[in-house]
Chains A and B, each alone.
Chain A
């Protein structure tokens, strides 16, 4: 189980307050506790990359994330569809 403290310790430059804000806005969705899984860790790494390396600001970050989420959802659905459709 990954707790908030472990997460904050793992990412230099991530503040607990910032993480709680992201959770409050639904950008990071933890299990109750809060406890995090590997996908949350990878997502936070991506968010920090978008914010710090690509200089997305607080307004742009949720927009980009929302589009990415929709894109990945589509790709998962596409993969599932491919798996169930027999090749012509």
Chain B
């Protein structure tokens, strides 16, 4: 006579559907006849477990069983050993598990062979990314700066003139090491160019404001100008107004490869300077030859 299906699965009578499924799975894994060849008691247990599960997993049958309308044996037996019957006979050779020779050596050989091969193959190293702040002047003129990588390696990084924020310098072979003879990855260095209080970049040109005194602006003549590339003598044309531009060829971003050097663009800015009684007196007595309205161009429609 059949056992109580709840007892077979080790469950209480109010077990949930999930509990039934889980108990069945646990027991079925343990007693599945194809996983326990040559153990008839496992097969008997599995049949009992399957029968119990068949009954309890069907809400209608379970309800009928609970109400005593059917007994635990009212089920059709499942053909649980069908595959084993074939697998142990001659036709089982169709699914030969390649065990000839020393079988236990390669129980897992098939499974691990692929993985081993993949791991033995040359594998290039990973690219590694870094960030580097570059001063405005270094970005303009180019430089070589020592750099220390997090893994302790230090290298000299050549920064070409004209780098811009967002540009990435690639150092071949300075990234992660390759495996099994694979090439090392690259170090990728993202550049951020810092601002400069006096200078502005415009492509390969550099713009700078040049303060001049009233006397220099009116009379012109040579003045000495400090620039990123050193002090330069610049001859101002006479009568240079505020806003006048003077272009110093080749004194901007340094030449690099096929790129010619940029220019340094000076924008004049007249500075009156501290109060000067003589200048005040001169201007008070001075009457310009041609009286021109400097605001004539400010013409707003009325």
Contacts and interface: CB of A to CB of B under 8 A. Distances in A.
A21 interface: no
Given A42-B83, A72-B88, A75-B37, A29 B95 contact: yes
Interface in B29-48: 29, 32, 34-35, 37-38
A29 B82 contact: no
A55 B18 CA distance: 13
Contacts of B90: 76
A20 interface: no
A57 interface: no
B148 interface: no
A24 interface: no
B34 A68 contact: yes
B61 interface: no
B85 interface: yes
B91 interface: yes
Interface residues of A, number: 27
Nearest to B57: A53
B37 A69 contact: no
B181 to A, nearest CB: 31
Among B82, B89, B103, residue most surrounded by chain A Cβ atoms (within 10 Å): B82
Interface residues of B, number: 32
A73 B92 contact: yes
B87 A39 contact: yes
A31 to B, nearest CB: 10
A42 B93 CA distance: 14
B86 A42 contact: yes
A18 to B, nearest CB: 18
A79 B111 CA distance: 26
Nearest to A44: B83
Contact of A53 (B28, B96, B98): B28
Contact of A69 (B32, B38, B91, B97): B97
A45 B82 contact: yes
A71 interface: yes
